[in-house]
């Protein structure tokens, strides 16, 4: 069961990662307009937030295994529709927007459903949630390391329509693997009764839980802050810097070092969780993450960015594994989907804000000033996270296998 769950998760993550890179390239190939690519990306952002909000309620109300299957099928159909539309009507910016919006209603609810299934997988398999969270983190690191290169290779070697078919097959395979998992996996347990009808109040319940529980609030704050800082550095600061010094090739090496580090950090957590408490692993990971991000933001010369990126990746893999396992231990069964949906919405909302702030810093003070600002943010992020009183309670109820 664990192998099937992880394979499904891996295929789903791979499909989402490949389409995230291949679709903008296909839009550029078809329209020859960079603005069109940006328009398609922005158009899918708002529906993603809505899908995350309602999806959390759906995950808590219905069979989570079936929700995961349905979400992957929706993703597969939306991607497969792209070459079909190209054959019948011809692709345009409008079609890309429509199909991008359709796909957004599968991606986020599917991610939330798999997150909510993880504790059930741990219970039925006899493994700790720490190990399951670390294994899922290893999946993320593996996809982050490989998917960009695979997507780029496919788009340069094959017609765009063929790449869409391959990506759709990846998501469909995820759904197929999930159907092989035991039906008991998706059943709700410890239920306090049926959920009330879907309303804004019931959909926003996850945010109320976050507001009232300091540990959950702190975990999500760290997750969102690390995503914002990391996204701003690798999405804007590094590309602009390496282009300005005439070393665009260095960007790919640096991002690869970070992805490999994430895989290594998550993999290390699989083996270390029985020897060291969550708190100790969190401290070690946070030192590596904040120190690596701060050093990376300083844009030091020679080989240093590779080392800094690797350290940040290892720290990110360790920290995320600890935080997600602690989060699952803290959230009640009936609220898991809505709380995880709140986390996903927070990340989706914060990332554009971080990129906009970094863009402003670049415009006002240039690359040097922006790099100093990001380095300071990384330092404050690290110190604040380690000093958090709520995060001293990370150990929860279990650091060992059941």
Nearest CA to 227 out of 367, 366, 355 is that of 355
Going from the C-alpha of 281 to that of each of 52, 273, 330, 395, 399, the distances in angstroms are 30, 8, 18, 10, 11
Residue 401 pLDDT greater than 50, yes or no: no
Q: Quick check: 114 and 12 in contact, CB under 8 A? A: yes
Q: What is the pLDDT of residue 290?
A: 96
pLDDT classification of 146: cutoffs 50, 70, 90: confident
Torsion of CA 128, 134, 136, 142, to 10 degrees: -150
Q: What is the pLDDT of residue 45?
A: 72
Domains and CATH numbers, the chain: 1-182 (1.20.1250.20), 204-396 (1.20.1250.20)
pLDDT classification of 273: cutoffs 50, 70, 90: confident
pLDDT classification of 399: cutoffs 50, 70, 90: very low
Q: What is the pLDDT of residue 402?
A: 36
What spatial distance separates the first Cα and last Cα of the chain, rounded to whole Å?
16
Average pLDDT on 240-257 reads 83
Residue 184 pLDDT greater than 60, yes or no: yes
pLDDT classification of 400: cutoffs 50, 70, 90: very low
pLDDT digits (tens, 9 = 90+) for 359-378: 888 888 888 888 999 999 99
Q: Which helix (DSSP H) or strand (DSSP E) does residue 23 occupy?
A: helix 2-31
pLDDT digits (tens, 9 = 90+) for 82-140: 999 999 988 898 999 999 888 878 888 888 899 889 998 998 999 889 999 999 989 98
Write the CB contacts of 399 (distance below 8 Å, at least 6 apart in sequence). Answer: 128, 130, 273, 274, 276, 277, 278
């Amino acid at each position: 069961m664990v192998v099937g769950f992880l394979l499904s998760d891996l295929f789903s993550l791979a499909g989402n990662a490949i389409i995230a890179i291949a679709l903008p390239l296909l839009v550029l190939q078809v329209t020859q307009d960079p603005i069109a690519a940006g328009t398609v990306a922005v158009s899918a952002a708002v529906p993603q937030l809505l899908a995350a909000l309602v999806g959390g309620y759906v995950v808590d109300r219905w069979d989570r295994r079936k929700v995961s299957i349905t979400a992957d099928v929706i993703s597969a159909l939306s991607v497969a529709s792209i070459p079909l539309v190209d054959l019948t009507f011809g692709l345009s910016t409008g079609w890309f927007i429509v199909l991008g919006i359709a796909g957004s209603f599968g991606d986020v609810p599917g991610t939330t459903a798999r997150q909510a299934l993880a504790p059930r997988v741990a219970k039925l398999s006899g493994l700790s949630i720490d190990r399951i969270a670390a294994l899922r983190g290893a999946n993320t690191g593996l996809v982050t390391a490989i998917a960009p290169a695979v997507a780029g290779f496919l788009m340069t070697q094959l017609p765009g329509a063929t790449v869409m078919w391959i990506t759709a097959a990846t998501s469909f395979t995820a759904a197929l693997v999930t159907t092989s998992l035991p039906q008991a996996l998706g059943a709700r347990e410890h239920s306090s009764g049926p959920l009330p009808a879907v309303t804004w109040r019931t959909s926003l319940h996850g945010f109320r839980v976050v507001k009232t529980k300091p540990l959950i609030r702190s975990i999500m704050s760290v997750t969102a802050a690390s995503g914002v800082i990391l996204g701003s550095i690798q999405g804007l600061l590094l590309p602009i810097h390496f282009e300005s010094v005439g070393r665009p090739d260095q960007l790919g090496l640096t991002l690869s070092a970070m992805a490999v580090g994430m895989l290594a950090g998550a993999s290390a957590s699989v083996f270390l969780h029985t020897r060291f408490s969550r708190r100790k692993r969190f401290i070690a990971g946070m030192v590596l993450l904040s120190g690596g991000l701060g050093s990376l933001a300083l844009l030091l010369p020679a080989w240093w960015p590779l080392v800094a990126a690797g350290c940040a990746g290892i720290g990110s893999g360790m920290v995320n594994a600890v935080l997600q396992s602690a989060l699952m231990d803290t959230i009640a069964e009936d609220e898991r989907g809505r709380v995880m949906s709140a986390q996903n919405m927070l990340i989706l909302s914060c990332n554009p804000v971080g990129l906009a702030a970094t863009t402003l810093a670049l415009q006002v003070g240039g690359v040097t000033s922006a790099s100093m600002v990001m380095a300071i943010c990384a330092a404050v992020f690290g110190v604040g996270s380690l000093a958090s009183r709520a995060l001293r309670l990370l150990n929860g109820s279990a650091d060992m296998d059941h």
